[in-house]
Structure 1
Amino acid sequence: MAKNKTTQTEVDVIDFINAYVDNDQKKAESFKLIELMKEWSRFEPKMWGPTIIGFGSYHYKYKSGHEGDAPLLAFSPRKAQFSLYIYSKTEQSDALLKDFGKFKMGKACIYIKKLADIDLSILEKLCTTTIAYLNEHHECACRN
């Protein structure tokens, strides 16, 4: 079975941001997202793979037998936009997206250009809704 590409690493999150993010606004917003996601998840930020900053973890197992661990909440300050890994496909999350602001939806993430494009109170609700969903449906560090 294939090995998961995105696993937790020992790379320092602050060092990563300072080395990887070359735009001052994106750097400041990265630190703001860390502050917010740390507060909402109650977990310290950790690097997952080379460019994802994650908070907490949960264990998933697909019907195919493939299983692994992933962060409860995460983001990546990619060059063009932020990738937010905060979404669980639920009616509540879909309803929240209607008033979220300016974003694009990918398969497993939400893309935003800058924090000013979105409603941070809805970001919080999306994050806490996702944590609740993961807690209910997976083995989750959020239970401890």
Structure 2
Amino acid sequence: MTNKTVPTDLKIGDYISSITDSQRREDCQWLLETMQDISGYEPTLWGASLKSAIVGFGTYHYKYESGREGDFMRLGFANRAQNISLYIIPGYESLGDELSRLGKHKTGKSCLYIKRLSDVDRDVLKDIIRKDVAIMAERYPE
């Protein structure tokens, strides 16, 4: 079984400019610049179309006990209809303190959902991104 979400040749600029809501577009531009700055990775669009794309940073190779293996982004975000989804790949086990200080958000298995950046503390969000990058570097050295 192969991953449905894979790197594409779609352009980051096209993705950002396709976001019609100006505040959401500014929020995603900030995330793009911040994640790139903190991670040191160039952004790549993952997914089949601009509408469903994820902006990903870095890659790692995983292999499950089941034998399934593949490559995925180390960190990412996506503009979705209801919110901005941040892909925090290691999950949230070590982020209790940061999440308690972040502001208005929801979480999924490896997703952090925020409506807009004005709902959260950007410095805490930067701390979460830094922690993601550090954990991924430790778990999956390059």
* TM-score between the two structures when normalised by the length of structure 1: 0.89
Deviation track 1:74-120 (CA, whole Å, cap 9, x = no partner) reads 00011210000025235431221111110011122010000011111
Match of 1:101 among 97, 100, 103: 103
Shift of 1:129: 1.1
Aligned to 1:70: 72
Runs of at least 5 residues in structure 2 that lack an aligned partner in the other structure: none
Q: Distance in 1 between matches of 2:57 and 2:89?
A: 14
SS at match of 1:125: helix
Q: Distance in 1 between matches of 2:66 and 2:85?
A: 27
Runs of at least 5 residues in structure 1 that lack an aligned partner in the other structure: none
CA distance 1:90–1:115, change in 2 (3 Å): closer
**Structure 1 residues 87-96 or 7-16, which shifts more?**
87-96
Give the root-mean-square deviation of aligned CA atoms.
Answer: 1.4
Aligned residue pairs, count: 138
Q: Distance in 2 between matches of 1:11 and 1:36?
A: 20
Q: Distance in 1 between matches of 2:98 and 2:139?
A: 20
Partners of 2:39 and 2:130 within 8 A in 1? yes
Shift of 1:7: 0.8
